[in-house]
Amino acid sequence: EAGVVQSPRYKIIEKKQPVAFWCNPISGHNTLYWYLQNLGQGPELLIRYENEEAVDDSQLPKDRFSAERLKGVDSTLKIQPAELGDSAVYLCASSVTPNEQYFGPGTRLTVT
Amino acid sequence: GENVEQHPSTLSVQEGDSAVIKCTYSDSASNYFPWYKQELGKGPQLIIDIRSNVGEKKDQRIAVTLNKTAKHFSLHITETQPEDSAVYFCAASKNGGFKTIFGAGTRLFVKA
């Protein structure tokens, strides 16, 4: 069974530029999560989708972050414009049950 | 909201020794406690979990214990091997809730 796929794996951009991350969850997993992981910290939830619906986006900084999950499968997380403090690893996870989450390898973003 | 504290932040053991990582949580309504292992360049991977109706769970060389009264839970790794070297995260969530709160992580080094 293929795991959660994320791309790109690494991204370096200058501040004020836009950036987008893509996630393909495990087939059949209706729930998709985007997490932010700062260096030396645990993952922090940004947004959770149930199929196409964003059911928890309370931690998503909506002034610059946006996300979509068209057709309830793949998802894209966007930052526009990026700031220096956005440098982190962005993890995507998916699940069938509410508890057992499967994580992708993450996208490491560096903003210069 | 829920807060999960984890310690130590770094743990170094000799191969064959045991390693213990401890976590505390704040929300008494939390009843699902997973542990994740994160290797360099990869996303977190679930290695074991425990629910609040169980005090202890074991899977080969790893075991988790839960003290609901004290709101403590711990991960025990016996007969450590170099491949156990990684960052370990504890987490807590409520039943039926998809919001998982992670600890800050413990970096485990197993010296051969």
Of A11 and B1, the structure prediction assigns the larger pLDDT to A11
User: What's the token pair of residue B72?
Assistant: 């403590």
Average pLDDT, chain A: 94
Q: Kindly indicate the confidence band of residue B75, based on its pLDDT and cuts at 50, 70 and 90.
A: very high
Q: Kindly indicate the confidence band of residue B109, based on its pLDDT and cuts at 50, 70 and 90.
A: very high
| Best mutation target, B3, B40, B93, B100, to test chain A (most A CBs within 10 A) | B100
Average pLDDT, chain B: 94
- Percentage of chain B with pLDDT > 70? 97
| Cα gap A89→A109, rounded to integer Å | 6
Nearest to A101 among B4, B97, B100 (CB): B100
Quick check: A48 and B98 in contact, CB under 8 A?
yes
For residue B59, pLDDT over 70 is answered with: yes
Q: What is the pLDDT of residues A40-96, one digit of tens each?
A: 999 999 999 999 999 989 899 999 999 999 888 999 999 999 999 999 999 999 998
